[in-house]
Amino acid sequence: MEATSAALGVIADDYTGAVDVAGVLRERGAAVNLHFGVPADEAAGAPQPDGGAVVVALKTRSVPPDVAVAQALAAARWLRARGARQLFFKYSSTFDSTDAGNIGPVMDALYDETGLAHSPGPVAPVLACPAVPGYGRTVYQGHLFVGDRLVAESPAGRHPLTPKTDSDLVRLLSRQTAAVVGLLPRQVTAGGEAAVAGALAAMGRAGVRYAVADAVDDRDLAVLGAAARGHPLVTGAAGLAAALVGHLPPALGAGEPPAGLPAAVVSGSGTEATLEQVRRFSRLRPTFRVVPGAIARGDDVVAEALAFARRHLPTGPVLVSATAPPEAVRAEQQALGAERAARLVETALAEIAAGLVSLGVRALVVAGGETSGAVVGRCGVDHVVIGREVAPGVSWARTAGPDPLWLLLKSGPLGAPDLFAEALPGRAGTGGVPGGGMPAAAVPARGAGR
């Protein structure tokens, strides 16, 4: 592969977050390539966009900190070797992590990797800002809000793997790193780019390494992005990444899947947003429900799901869902253990997704970050080009080759209630069923998910 120069190298800590930031960058006009995992030198997929952005998607949000650090460093070195002049560490807009990490440990490692730790004099602290006002995520006085509620008091704070009991990001990040963490308050950001640059310089002289930045609207992010454009390392969510590139001339993209392609939805997220999306789509198209208890009993749920899909795909898309109401999820977790239940579901959904592709599905919607990672890995997808944005943070992506697979990897909380139907125009509901009429009824529930 001929090496070309990518102005911005993004390291994302999960797959749906990677698609989120890649889609936002493309909407801003950047040419974007997305790799799942750190590519091998000789098998890196398509050439990198000269002067654009390259995103490397990792699955490091809830792995041990040393594993997350090793993978992030490998991604950083791969990106820098291909000319990335600025690194952006992308994490969740709800700052998904535990007190042990992995955001702080990865930031420490990238700080060293970019040479900032060895600078002969004071350097401006690295920005940390997960705000995405368009998603309802804002930061004020260092506290992270989801809508009008502190993240620790919101449904997002009850994530089973990365629960949040503290909304103060300065305090939370300080528990993950030995470095000094400071606050860049909105009163400074409101003064514009020069005020931010001056405040960061003063914080650097005072020994602050990381600056949690307030941002309550896109104007705040624009100021932060302009001030940080020359920084070798920036961290945050998709909002700050978009602000770094500003607005460029429109880039050519992959578009969206043709309306005639066989399609399916695979859902493993347990968020309220995905639960409603599953409810809505189940009224339109046949649905197979996966329950971890059935898998644990030894039922061949994968074979059952694929037999179900084989029957119903000729009339339009099918939905295979492990999404269930909170009380059902709690019951399964109590019976099997939360980690075992999640592992059973992810493995089954990944096998089902691969089977759907073997049956001819070429447009695949996947809901849930962990589920998306498992599906992408099982299907052997290592590189995609980002296409049309269907909803904020949710974009189509396609693989290379004459018979591409189109993927819509959706983070659990994102998307409107009718996202699945809207993402598959001409395929869902009566308009997508040959001969008109309503689709066949959904099968009885065989399992539940997370």
Lowest mean pLDDT among 232-241, 279-288, 347-356, 397-406: 397-406
Q: Which two tokens stand for residue 207?
A: 């020994």
125 or 395: which leads in pLDDT: 125
User: Is the C-alpha dihedral spanning 64, 18, 34, 236 positive or negative?
Assistant: negative
CA–CA distance, 187 with 141 (Å, rounded to integer): 9
Task: Specify the pLDDT at position 28.
Answer: 85
Rg (CA), the chain: 22
Q: What mean pLDDT do residues 130-155 have?
A: 93
Task: Specify the pLDDT at position 43.
Answer: 42
260 pLDDT above the threshold of 90: no
SS3 416: coil
Q: Which two tokens stand for residue 262?
A: 């066989």
Query: What CATH number should be reported for the domain whose range is 263-432?
Result: 3.40.980.20
CA angle, 357 then 360 then 361, to 5°: 60
Q: Where in the chain is CATH 3.40.980.20?
A: 263-432
Q: Per-residue confidence at 448, pLDDT binned at 50, 70, 90?
A: very low
Q: Which helix (H) or strand (E) holds 146?
A: strand 143-146
Task: Specify the pLDDT at position 33.
Answer: 87
Q: Where in the chain is CATH 3.40.50.10840?
A: 8-245
158 pLDDT above the threshold of 80: no
Q: Per-residue confidence at 252, pLDDT binned at 50, 70, 90?
A: low
Lowest mean pLDDT among 58-62, 168-172, 374-378, 427-431: 427-431
Task: Specify the pLDDT at position 245.
Answer: 87
Q: What mean pLDDT do residues 107-122 have?
A: 93
Q: Per-residue confidence at 1, pLDDT binned at 50, 70, 90?
A: very low
Share of the chain above pLDDT 70, in %: 88
Share of the chain above pLDDT 90, in %: 62
Task: Specify the pLDDT at position 254.
Answer: 60
Task: Specify the pLDDT at position 68.
Answer: 96
Q: What mean pLDDT do residues 96-105 have?
A: 89
CATH topology of domain 8-245: Rossmann fold (3.40.50)
248 pLDDT above the threshold of 90: no
CA–CA distance, 65 with 39 (Å, rounded to integer): 21
362 pLDDT above the threshold of 50: yes
132 or 83: which leads in pLDDT: 132
Task: Specify the pLDDT at position 444.
Answer: 36
- CB 301, CB 351: distance < 8 Å: no
445 pLDDT above the threshold of 80: no
- DSSP annotation of 101 reads B
Q: What mean pLDDT do residues 249-254 have?
A: 56
Lowest mean pLDDT among 81-85, 179-183, 312-316: 81-85
Q: What mean pLDDT do residues 338-355 have?
A: 93
Q: What mean pLDDT do residues 184-213 have?
A: 96
Q: Which residue has the tokens 């949000």?
A: 61
Alpha helices in 258-315 (DSSP H): 272-282, 292-296, 301-312
5 pLDDT above the threshold of 50: no
Q: Per-residue confidence at 237, pLDDT binned at 50, 70, 90?
A: very high
Task: Specify the pLDDT at position 430.
Answer: 34
Task: Specify the pLDDT at position 2.
Answer: 34
Task: Specify the pLDDT at position 161.
Answer: 67
Q: What mean pLDDT do residues 24-51 have?
A: 71
CA–CA distance, 399 with 417 (Å, rounded to integer): 27
435 pLDDT above the threshold of 50: no
Q: Per-residue confidence at 270, pLDDT binned at 50, 70, 90?
A: confident
Task: Specify the pLDDT at position 247.
Answer: 65
Mean pLDDT of the chain: 87
How many alpha carbons lie under 13 Å from residue 254 in its C-beta half-sphere?
Answer: 26
Q: What mean pLDDT do residues 250-258 have?
A: 69
Give every CB contact of residue 227 below 8 A, 6+ residues apart in sequence.
193, 196, 197, 200
pTM attached to this predicted model: 0.75
Highest mean pLDDT among 229-243, 255-269, 411-425: 229-243
Lowest mean pLDDT among 136-140, 173-177, 428-432: 428-432
Task: Specify the pLDDT at position 386.
Answer: 85
Cβ-count burial 300-334 (b if 16+ within 10 Å, e if not): ebbebbbebbeebbebbbbbbbbbbeeebbeebbe
SS3 443: coil
Q: What mean pLDDT do residues 81-106 have?
A: 91
